[in-house]
Amino acid sequence: FGLVEKTSHLKILLPSLPLSSFSLPSLSPSSLLGIGAVASLTAYWLVTRPRPMLPPCDLQAQSVAVNGDPSCRRSALLKDDSLMEFYYDDTRTAFDMFQRGVRIAGNGPCLGFRKPGQPYQWISYAEVTEQAQVLGSGLLAKGCQPNPQQFVGIFAQNRPELACYTYSMAVVPLYDTLGLEAMVHILTLGEKMREHCSWPFIKPHINCHWFVNSTQTYHSGEQYTVILLPKYCLRLSVMQTPPQPQDLAVVCFTSGTTGNPKGAMITHGNIASNTSSVIKILEVCLHFHLLDVSISYLPLAHMFERMIQISMFCHGARVGFYQGDISLLMDDIKTLKPTFFPVVPRLLNRIYDKILGSVTSPLRRALLHYAVRRKQAELSSGVVRNNSLWDKLVFNRIQASLGGNLRFALTASAPISPTVLSFLRATLGCLIFEGYGQTECTAGCTFSMPGDWERHVGAPLPCNLICAIILYILGQSDGWLHSGDVGQWLPNGTLRIIDRKKHIFKLSQGEYIAPEKIENVYVRCVPVLQVFVHGDSLESYLIGIVVPDPEVFVSWAKDRGFVGSYEELCQNPNAVLEDMKAVGKEAGLKSFEQVKDLHLHPETFSIANGLLTPTLKSRRADIRRTFQEQISSMYSKKKMLS
């Protein structure tokens, strides 16, 4: 009776409608077909329409002042000032995180590798567990102790058999590109170190064991012993000795932009809290799962790559190693089809340049920029997707060049231009996060929030506090880490990095210069591959060292009336200078921030020639020293002209 009464009341409230005019018999077949089509399209749109991401917190208040001090802040994701230690109850150490992946994936694929021209081959989680136990047993048999006071040096490119901590020993990863002086410096710091190598570097200056896969080119010497892994270790098996959160996990040496590398002592608790904080930030918009796969090409001696791999293992996901040749990286990516892409800014800048350089006709370039603006409009409303009309018409080949399966990417280790990030978020159709950190704070200390793509590096991770203006970072243990960076808190609680304190200098007229900010603008010029901006407190203007892009420089210069070979054009800085000034002006650089003269150098800055670190950062002091003659000449020339 209540239902009848409510229905009668509803009829009274409704206006009188000429319902007879809507009767189906009175409609023509074409009208019925049109109504059906409209209804179908409406239903399809409602089901498939893009939905904005839910942010994990209020994007206008991403961090909270600690004890009323606005310069010291914590993540807004925390309920109080207690910092995050773990996300999953069963993941308190790096070993725990791998074991969680074993339980999730079972005998599923874990580590992948390939030979040239062939598909990836996979080692299962069960096989990796067995290999780690066998290798660890071999180390114990050669005198290593199952405790965190035992250091095991690893000198190799990224290798699939070096996957997990099994016997509580502390790892000391070594860059395969380290010079002899730095290598000996690191090795001599550890009296109890054992060396696990994949090839000989040079006869070491301390006693150590060399574990290898083949004895074809390896011979024992008086100061080192070669041990063949398959023959020696497979007959050994010792029960696992899992580490505790407070145990030392890795002594990670910095890439050494100045002087000898310094070792950062990272515990298992540090690793667990850092990875857990990123998982916490992503929980509302992105979940790791079994089908995720990451490409590994950054050195495992860098904490960024190490934390990426541990995060993947924790969820039973896969890691595919590149072949070891950076020139084949894009082929490896196409073959692997990763869903996750850890990437340094220098490589993102290269991808950005490649995309713009491949679009030559004015019509195609106009279409590209229009499509980018449409996708950026979606990004501003929180929508990230790769199935829009623009993705199908304009961006499909770009996305296919990176495998076509990217869900998210993370860039860190150096500053990157917001223009490049915004452009690539639109063209790649995936989440691209930016983080900030350093080896000494495990890896990251800030992370950008989903849905907030403004010009900053995000808010503090839930595992640490940050104090600006000169950045100090506080984790679980007592004491602050002095980062050496200068930063600024923005009104929404996010952090903007100005530059390294030691990089900032003052010109003779008193203007402060942050060179990396200027370099990130200039590197967006089509003909510019690498750039180094230099200034001096005794001089009133900036100069630059530029490496032109050999793939586009000659044709680009010819279109502007400069004709010659690559080497000949490098003798004419005017071929690039005006374009750089135009890009700088468009980006809002002040007059004193613009370079007034250039030296064009035909050889790229690289790890091999000592001008880049293993993580592709510029060794500024070494670049300045290498080009001191050209720097002095540019300043002298300007003084003579004036």
Q: How many CB atoms lie within 10 A of CB 175?
A: 24
Show Cβ contacts of residue 8 under 8 Å, excluding neighbours closer than 6 positions. Answer: none
Parallel/antiparallel/unpaired status of strands 470-474 and 151-155? unpaired
Q: What is the mean pLDDT of each run of 10 residues along the chain (642 residues)?
A: 43 44 58 75 69 88 92 93 93 94 94 93 92 78 77 69 62 72 72 51 46 49 50 61 90 70 88 95 90 91 90 96 89 96 90 87 92 93 90 94 94 85 94 91 91 88 85 69 88 90 86 90 91 92 94 90 91 90 92 94 90 83 94 81 54
Q: How many CB atoms lie within 10 A of CB 306?
A: 25
Exposure of 272 by Cβ count < 10 A (0-12 exposed, 13-18 middle, 19+ buried)? buried
Is the pTM higher than 0.85? The answer reads: no
Q: How many CB atoms lie within 10 A of CB 582?
A: 11
pLDDT of 477 reads 60
pLDDT of 394 reads 93
Using H for helix, E for strand and C for coil, what is the string for 354-393? HHHHHCCCHHHHHHHHHHHHHHHHHHHCCCCCCCCHHHHH
Q: How many CB atoms lie within 10 A of CB 242?
A: 16
For residues 294 and 307, the answer to whether their CB atoms sit within 8 Å is: no
Exposure of 431 by Cβ count < 10 A (0-12 exposed, 13-18 middle, 19+ buried)? buried
Exposure of 348 by Cβ count < 10 A (0-12 exposed, 13-18 middle, 19+ buried)? buried
Measure the CA–CA gap between 620 and 633, rounded to whole angstroms.
19
Q: How many Å separate Cα 428 from the centre of its chain?
A: 15
pLDDT of 519 reads 93
